[in-house]
Amino acid sequence: MISNNQKKLIRQLRMKKYRDSSALFIAEGAKIVADMLHKGIKPHTLFCTERGISDLSDFGISSSSNITLADEPEMKEFSEMTHPTSVLAILHKPADNLIEPDYLTQILNGPTDTLVLALDDIQDPGNMGTIIRIADWFGIHNILLSPTCADPFGPKTVQASMGAIARAEITQTNLVDFFKSLNNNVPIYGTVLEGENIYSAHLSQNGVVLMGNEGHGLSHDVLNALTHRLLIPSYPANAVLTSESLNVAAATAVVLSEFRRR
């Protein structure tokens, strides 16, 4: 059974201020939790139904782990999933997931083929998690977040990342200040309506790929930092009626895919 103190902690960790102060976060689902544990993220407490213990075992997690047995009504009470999960974990935020901006500056200013993804004011946790998952697929693990982005360790973000958050190295910083720290020869790419067609533009193997807010795109300050402005064209080129824009996660997938295709 889940104790009252454990229930209180789970409720608190739904709020960012408690995740920040405790350095703990929540993950749901046997596969996601197993991915976290295999990556070396330390568990604070694992809550499992009887089925959940078996589910974790299928992913190589022993039942000797620090598991608190819970019944299905309890899991339903605390789950944010449509269909309550059999596994809910409180995990310690991994220290090696949080990198310093100066470290990235040194990498990008030196001889490198590293691509860094920067996110400006991404508000929706689902988009944030999906983007982290997309970046993981394309082998981009260094991710910069503006201070106004959704919390990467929020429950919905962790869920949407499908475990990719365990492999991401994340920095939350002022993007304008970070861009000023880069050498002039470091390319900064961003998608805008008046940009160059991404399918014919020259794309380098290093630099920063910048994606903007769901409704407003890139903010004025970071827009001025761009060295390369890209456009994802709609098809056919002369279409009169088409969607106004792509979802930012879908746009990120297109952009990163094109960089990796080269």
pTM: 0.89
Instruction: Give yes or no for residue 259 having a pLDDT over 80.
Output: yes
Residue 166's pLDDT is: 87
Instruction: Give yes or no for residue 104 having a pLDDT over 70.
Output: yes
Alpha helix ranges (H) inside the chain? 4-12, 16-22, 30-39, 50-58, 72-78, 101-109, 125-137, 155-161, 175-180, 220-223, 248-261
The mean pLDDT of 32-55, rounded to a whole number, is 90
Q: Which tens digits make up the pLDDT trace of 156-211?
A: 999 999 989 988 999 899 999 999 999 999 999 999 988 999 999 999 999 999 99
